[in-house]
Amino acid sequence: MRRKLLFLTPALFFVALFLAALFLLPRMVMADHSSHLTYQDFSEIPVLHGGRIRPLDSFARIELRTLSGRDKTASGDSAVEWLAQTIFAPYEALQQRVFLIRNPELQNMLKLPKRRGHLYSYGELSPGLDALRDTIARIAGTPQKDWTQAQNELIALQRNSHSFKQLLSAVSLLLPLAVDLPQDIRDKTGIATDAALTYLDALKTEEHLKQRVIALHAQKGAEIDRYTAPELALVEAAFALEQIAREGSQSKLLRIIPPAEGENGQDWMSPWDAMLSGRMSPQNAGLSNAWRTLAAAYQADDTAAWQRAAEQARDAGRQLAGKQISASRLAMELSYNHTAPLKKSALLYGLGFFLMIGSLLFPKAFPARKIVIATLAGGAFYHLSAIIVRVIVLMRPPVGTLYESVLFVGLICVLTGLLIEFRRRDNAGLLLAAISGAMLGLVSLGRLAGPDDMNVLVAVLNTNFWLTTHVLMITAGYAFAIITALIAHLALYLRLFKRNEKTDLLPALHKSALIALLFTATGTVLGGVWADQSWGRFWGWDPKENGALLIVLWLLWVLHGQLSGHIRRFDMLAGMAFLNVIVALSWFGVNLLNVGLHSYGFIDSVFWSLAGFCAVETVVIGIPYLCLKYEKGRSA
């Protein structure tokens, strides 16, 4: 009974967590926390970011993840709601806790209070960043390899704060001014007396206002006591306009205005870029007016006006962009964001894993084997649909980054496990699918992708045929090598517990090992062909090349040793099981080195995760291996 409770407690907890995540979280994401405004049409507005055109919802998610590491704010607002508040109500956004700072040393440097969640507002950060301006400049002037962890995070925080300030002033030229102009100057704008003025309206009087202030300064100097109240209001208005223009001129992040017809070779512009470059043309006037109406409707909490303006901004942006965008791909990406298929697949794999363990340990308590199959198949469906959507949206093969390789390898492992189960029907394939799906699903939910998991590749990665085939082959090789290692793990423990006579996994192990050898060897050769065409050399002893070769050599060594009789059966099983460590070092380990063409820099979290995995694997493989070796010695 105690053993059952030890299993049932975490299993029931995971089931409850899964149901909450699957059914409650999507409703929470779609809920509106700040007002009665709806954000569907606003989310669909096209924006150029990261080298490709995305829906505004994707842009908001990336920016919020960059700052806070999550898709929602601490108050429960979705990313697109947070973006709307940031650009339309910047004074309120200054108090939103969206900056994630975990490092205690950095918190002390910025004189921040300790709090749960480690989230801080820009208003809290700003004084500390200003005080550390000289320190930041000195750090930036030294080689990055010499930076401490706190210094790295400080520089990243400085960059993030700059991006946040760009969002704060992204549409400030369209927002109502916090100060009013003297009536004689206001009359020159042509705006009604009771109407709110924006920077664009006041721009018509800018030169006249400057001349008035210059004349005042020449007459009364810098002594404030000599100025009347109307004169102070005049100076204050001039200073406010100058401040808005200074901050707005640096706001280039929100590029929502496509080039007008005839502007071949021009890029998308932020509202400030369009105004300052004189590219506010009649063709994009409709888009600018829609955004101005959006700003006014947001501040007035006018649902009807907001909805109409959001539709107009979306349609005007698409019309101006013309053939540059595909409405169907934008809609597909938006649906992908809201559905979160990869999170659902990871949860289903995890649930399948616990149910599978339960059905093996307690067959009477968990008799429904078909439920496990349905759960894993559901996870595979979400997984496959996510990869298909990504291929369509990005218009390139499914593997181009380290994160995408995890997704691709995980899907192959799960499908292979289900295929093995279809052929054997002894639960071995289900166990392989559940373990590989849960393990790689957990990796994919980590920080491996960064804030943007659908980024654009450099041209050579996106178009080169040999590179594409090489990456697909080598990642497929990773998948079959992992399946081979998991089969070897299972075979080792079955042999240890004298169950191998009931489940003979050696034929499946040999087939999987040969398939892994085929794909890794072919992928390695294709990588050399690509390198020869791109860099003029077939092999350069790059760490990634060496890692791929190591997998090939390891498989050859174990297979040949077993065939020649130099390696005993349980030695072969241990060698094949250790293939997981070899793959992990080749797949992730070499990327941590600060040398070679595949170096992503040293990342503490990845290093310790990798080291922990290798240590655990060594123990998991070593226990049955040493026990079998001891029994073999005693029987001899």
pLDDT of residue 290: 92
Give the domain-ending residue among 401, 435, 456. 456
Identify the bridge partners of residue 255 per DSSP, sorted by sequence position.
48
Evaluate the CA torsion angle 201, 203, 209, 213 in order and state its sign.
positive
pLDDT under 70: residue ranges of the chain = 1-35, 193-194, 261-265, 364-367, 457-464, 499-503, 592-605, 633-636
Same domain, 532 and 614: yes
pLDDT of residue 57: 96
Same domain, 364 and 278: no
Q: Token pair for residue 240? A: 């406010």
d(CA 396, CA 130): 43
Domain of residue 631: give its range: 464-636
**Cα 402 to the center of its chain, rounded Å:** 12
Same domain, 380 and 529: no
d(CA 47, CA 56): 6
Name the CA dihedral angle for 478, 484, 490, 496, rounded to a multiple of 10 degrees: -120
Same domain, 502 and 621: yes
d(CA 112, CA 124): 7
Q: Are 401 and 455 in contact (CB under 8 A)?
A: yes
**Greatest CA separation found in the chain?**
109
The count of domains in the chain is 4
pLDDT of residue 14: 47
pLDDT of residue 417: 94
d(CA 518, CA 539): 19
Strands (DSSP E) contained in 64-113 are 97-100
Q: Token pair for residue 398? A: 């499914």
Helix axes 341-361, 369-394, angle to 10 degrees: 160
Evaluate the CA torsion angle 342, 344, 347, 349 in order and state its sign.
negative
Give a yes or no: residue 8 inside a domain.
no
Count of H-run helices and E-run strands, the chain? 29, 4
d(CA 554, CA 618): 16
Give a yes or no: residue 16 inside a domain.
no
Give a yes or no: residue 22 inside a domain.
no
Give a yes or no: residue 13 inside a domain.
no
Same domain, 266 and 378: no
Same domain, 280 and 366: no
Give the domain-ending residue among 144, 170, 196. 170
Q: Name residue, tokens 């969206």.
A: 98
Same domain, 614 and 469: yes
Give the domain-ending residue among 456, 488, 505. 456
d(CA 604, CA 584): 16
Give a yes or no: residue 76 inside a domain.
yes
Same domain, 195 and 217: yes
Q: Are 139 and 156 in contact (CB under 8 A)?
A: no
Same domain, 474 and 623: yes
The structure's pTM equals 0.86
Phi, psi of 95 (to 5 degrees): -100, 0
Burial class (CB in 10 A: 0-12, 13-18, 19+), 396: middle
The identity of residue 486, as a single letter, is: L
Same domain, 432 and 471: no
Same domain, 433 and 495: no
The identity of residue 516, as a single letter, is: A
Q: Are 596 and 567 in contact (CB under 8 A)?
A: no
R_g over Cα of the chain: 30
d(CA 124, CA 252): 24
Give a yes or no: residue 616 inside a domain.
yes
Q: Token pair for residue 110? A: 């910025």
The identity of residue 13, as a single letter, is: F
Please give the helix or strand (H or E) that residue 381 lies within, else none: helix 369-394
CA nearest to 250, candidates 167, 179, 178: 167
Give a yes or no: residue 9 inside a domain.
no
Q: Are 95 and 108 in contact (CB under 8 A)?
A: no
CB atoms within 10 A of CB 174: 22
pLDDT of residue 569: 84
Same domain, 52 and 103: yes
Give a yes or no: residue 19 inside a domain.
no
